[in-house]
Amino acid sequence: MSEQMDQSQPENHSRFLEFRSVPYGTKRDGELVLNRYSSLVTNGYEFPGAQAMLYAAGIKNQEDMRTKPQVGVASVWWEGNPCNMHLLDLGKTVKEGLEKNGMIGWQFNTIGVSDAITMSNQGMRFSLQSRDIIADSIETTTCAQHHDANISIPGCDKNMPGCIMAMARHNRPSLMIYGGSIKGGYSERLRQPINISSCFEAHGAMMYGKLTTDDLDDVIKNSCPGPGGCGGMYTANTMATALEAMGLTLPGSSSTPADSPAKYRECLRAAEAIKVLLEKDIKPRDLITRESFENAMVITMIMGGSTNAVLHFLAISHTADLDLTIDDFQRVADKIPVLADLKPSGKYMMADLADIGGMPAVFKFLIHAGLINGDILTVTGKTLKENVESAPSLDPGQDIIRPLSNPIKATGHIRILKGNLAPGGAVAKITGKEGKSFIGKARVYNGEEALIASLEKGEIHPEENTVLCVRYEGPKGGPGMPEQLKTSAVLMGANLRNVALITDGRYSGASHGFIVGHIVPEAQAGGPIAILQDGDVVTIDSETNQLSMNVSDKEISARLKKWKAPRMKVNRGTLAKYAYLVGDASHGAVLDMF
């Protein structure tokens, strides 16, 4: 171990490797040394084999070897998903910009899972755990290869938090480029705009006789017209807008469409920003702060974002050694309105928002209104307020972002519920369109497959309010805490309005309706949800933040004494490892052995 500790690493050295680096501020021939980490292997003759390999990989001469910073360009690229299929090309553009600005770019990629392709099948078990593999792989390559900085390019839901968790771990100058949002689709047959969630809702409508198979075929074929993340305020766009509000991307990254020239210009501009970060020694943990998380939570409420944001913000906070809790989300929800009329519960798509100035215009409006902090530092080296000063103001005639005087909902749609069904907390997504409270009799299913089978048979036609409960789908019990968009979408498509859903699993950002997820403790861990019975009356109240069953404490205790944990569903491979290590949803479902 070297005598000189890496001063950029977090104080909690027990959780991080120690790396030797040139002290910040060191100069060579009057210029700041920017290759602080890579110089360990590129300067002198201590590691000749490393230098030989780097020459073979593309470094041209000794001057470049010894002086140029090396920047990892990590794209979450693979061909089988529209959210990610273009990210390799974006990465090439980033590398081009780095080379023009006197730096060396090394492209690498990591794995991903398409939530839409895996939705409601066994593949979805792998989705949430991919977040940690992404973080692991970017951290591994960045540190093992002695990269001086990192630019990550995610596209789908778990990609964004995975990239940011890696940044918080290696803590080297970094920024994120969101791969951009997809264009909206259109069904000529139905004569209406459509998107990925339309497929699931149309399927529900078909099962209940409201659409034909030809209608469904048309929706399927035309929902996704090209590259980009799912186009509503689903999880990908929720995370992208929140991370821009935290200062971790260039201005406009979250609302710039995937296939637009502006997205490629952003990729070229990233080199200038990463050079500023290197010169000023601005690191991810300088940007991932309590103040920036406040912005993230506020913008998630304003935009009507996904419940998955709660899970991912908690995980990022944990990784950065901050103390964000689920109660912080409720505190923000109590004072922040929903203003954006965006899908899934609204009318518009992210591409529509881009046409009226995108997120820079929204941030400009919210900073002026005093709702978000414009003084936080960002990856440009400037404040958020400085970044958006030249952005257009929102046109008073547009109706995508409502004025404060006319909100869609006066308080946040994400509610943290507690009670004897969720003593450790649960996360609800209640826009108010379905009402603010729901009381109904429980109908319990041990797994999403059982409920889907019941829906496909047309068995759910409740004459009275019914709370469908899907359990054993938590982080351990799933395993992997699968999303249940298919279930929620079928209910919406079938227009079953007197039904609510609760689960220890989670929902897609595209889900809407009266839904509650993330119930803690989960059923597999012996939470009260494990002993809920058919016919028990369940109360969901977004005003008192209550999730409870009309079962006495004595009866709950008696039922739990008779309950036995079922065998884990997997006992080998990556899912078994995940189930063994993962924590509960109220703490971000993080893997933490220490």
Q: How far apart are CA 201 and CA 162, in angstroms?
A: 29
Q: Which residues contact 241 (CB under 8 A, 6 or more apart)?
A: 233, 254, 255, 299, 300, 303, 305, 359
Q: Which of 174, 508, 542, 548 is catalytic?
A: 508
Q: How far apart are CA 277 and CA 254, in angstroms?
A: 20
Q: How far apart are CA 22 and CA 308, in angstroms?
A: 39
Instruction: For the beta carbon of residue 412, count every other beta carbon within 10 angstroms.
Output: 27
Q: How far apart are CA 133 and CA 127, in angstroms?
A: 10
Strand partners, 409: 338
Instruction: For the beta carbon of residue 521, count every other beta carbon within 10 angstroms.
Output: 21
**Angle CA 334–492–211, to nearest 5:** 160
Instruction: For residue 530, give Cα distances in angstroms to 25, 236, 484, 572.
Output: 57, 31, 18, 24
Q: How far apart are CA 338 and CA 318, in angstroms?
A: 27
CA atoms within a 13 Å half-sphere pointing along the CA-CB vector of 71: 34
DSSP 515: E
- To the query of whether residue 508 is one of the catalytic residues in this protein, the response is yes
CB 446 within 8 A of CB 472: yes
Q: How far apart are CA 213 and CA 219, in angstroms?
A: 10
Q: How far apart are CA 254 and CA 272, in angstroms?
A: 19
Q: What is the 3-state secondary structure (H, E, C) of 198-259?
A: HHHHHHHHHHCCCCCHHHHHHHHHHCCCCCCECCCCCHHHHHHHHHHHCCCECCCCCCCCCC
CB 42 within 8 A of CB 66: yes
Q: Which residues contact 276 (CB under 8 A, 6 or more apart)?
A: 282, 380, 381
The bridge status of strand 537-541 relative to strand 546-549 is: antiparallel
Q: Which residues contact 526 (CB under 8 A, 6 or more apart)?
A: 560, 563, 565
Closest-CA residue to 480 (of 567, 566, 569) = 569
Report, as residue numbers or ranges, the catalytic residues: 508
